[in-house]
């Protein structure tokens, strides 16, 4: 069931049985939802409505952040799945012994130095794959697992599950949500992308409420390792700016 509210001060609590609700406030339109472990109110339209009180967006996790060791494990597991031995069918170079001039994989058994048009080829090794991870609250901690998935270098086919956090990795690509992600991520949970894992690991996090999205600082959800950067972590004395995405 979907509910519609005119903002009051304070707002009433979310009623049981409500899937989500739209709130018209003095500073825009918001959507609010709650599930086990998570309650959010996110902005979806920025406008001014005279006579109504303004409200502030929020995200509340009922438990602690995802531990640093868990994110370190995700990063290492993604790196492990991205590495596959290969031998070039032309020159015989391998992952361990590449061409003297440097090379990358154009095909699973063809390096860039031996490909006729390697100068214009996409420099994403074909043996690298994206990986999907799920996290959920369990016994006061976090449970981590990988769903059944068909992986490739640019996409993942998987069956969505009702996890609290859905995280997928990119390899040499940055941490961003694609149009395919926007189409697939139609549930109510926290979504994350871990990009550039082979060089400078970067994390991009957003909350999704049935097709509405709000970007949030990664440190709200994860205890970040020193080698993982929030995609746009503000300085401690800077205000977090709302972003409609």
pLDDT digits (tens, 9 = 90+) for 174-212: 899 999 999 999 999 999 999 999 889 999 999 999 999
Average per-residue pLDDT in the chain?
A: 86
Residue of 84 and 110 predicted with greater confidence: 110
Question: What are the domain boundaries of the chain?
Answer: 2-61, 68-82+128-230, 85-126
Banded model confidence at residue 97, pLDDT cuts 50, 70, 90: confident
Residue 204 pLDDT: 97
User: CB-based burial of residue 207 (10 Å sphere; 0-12 exposed, 13-18 middle, 19+ buried)?
Assistant: buried
In the chain, the N- to C-terminal Cα span, in Å, equals 24
Q: What is the pLDDT of residue 91?
A: 85
Task: State the Cα–Cα distance between residues 38 and 238, nearest whole angstrom.
Answer: 25
What pLDDT sits at residue 245? 40
Higher pLDDT, 97 or 45: 45
| Residue % of the chain over a pLDDT of 70 | 86
Q: What confidence tier does 119 reach under pLDDT thresholds 50, 70, 90?
A: very low
Angstrom distances, CA of residue 95 to CA of 168, 170, 201: 24, 19, 21
Render pLDDT for 27-70 as a digit per residue (tens, 0 to 9). Answer: 999 999 999 999 999 999 999 999 999 999 999 998 789 999 99
Q: What's the mean pLDDT in 210-216?
A: 97
| Rg value, the chain, Cα | 21
2-16, 125-139, 217-231: least confident range: 125-139
Task: Tell which wins on pLDDT, 155 or 76.
Answer: 76
Which pLDDT band holds residue 157 (cuts at 50, 70, 90)? confident
* Residue 21 clears pLDDT 70, i.e. is over it: yes
The beta strand positions in 27-103, using DSSP E, are: 28-35, 38-45, 58-61
DSSP conformational letter for 78: H
Q: Please give the residue that has the higher pLDDT: either 175 or 111.
A: 175
As a whole number, mean pLDDT of residues 122-130 equals 60
Element at 23 (helix H, strand E): strand 20-25
CA dihedral 103, 106, 107, 113 (to 10 degrees): -50
- pLDDT over 80 (residue 164): yes
Question: Residue 236 pLDDT > 50, yes or no?
Answer: no
**113-129 mean pLDDT:** 59
Omega before 10 cis (within 30°)? Answer: yes
CATH code for residues 68-82+128-230: 3.40.140.10
Q: Is the pLDDT of residue 242 over 60?
A: no
């Amino acid at each position: 069931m979907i509910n519609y509210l005119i903002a009051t001060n304070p707002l009433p609590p979310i009623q049981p049985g409500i899937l989500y609700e739209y709130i018209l406030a003095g500073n825009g339109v918001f959507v609010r939802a709650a599930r086990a472990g998570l309650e959010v109110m996110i902005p979806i339209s920025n406008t001014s409505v005279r006579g109504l009180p303004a409200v502030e967006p929020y995200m509340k996790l009922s438990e602690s952040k995802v531990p640093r060791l868990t994110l370190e494990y995700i990063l290492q597991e993604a790196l492990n799945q991205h590495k596959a031995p290969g031998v070039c069918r032309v020159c015989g170079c391998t992952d361990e012994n590449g061409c003297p001039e440097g090379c990358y994989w154009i095909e699973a058994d063809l390096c860039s130095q031996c490909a006729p048009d390697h100068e214009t080829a996409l420099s994403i090794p074909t043996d690298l794959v994206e990986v999907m991870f799920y996290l959920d609250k369990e016994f006061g901690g976090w449970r981590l697992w990988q769903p059944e998935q068909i992986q490739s270098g640019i996409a993942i086919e998987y069956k969505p599950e009702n996890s609290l956090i859905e995280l997928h990795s990119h390899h040499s690509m940055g941490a961003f949500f694609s149009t395919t992600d926007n189409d697939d991520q139609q549930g109510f949970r926290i979504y994350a992308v871990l990009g550039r894992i082979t060089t400078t690991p970067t994390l991009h996090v957003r909350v999704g409420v049935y097709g509405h999205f709000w970007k949030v600082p990664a440190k709200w959800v994860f205890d970040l390792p020193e080698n993982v950067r929030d995609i746009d972590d503000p300085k401690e004395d800077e205000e977090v700016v709302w972003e409609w995405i």
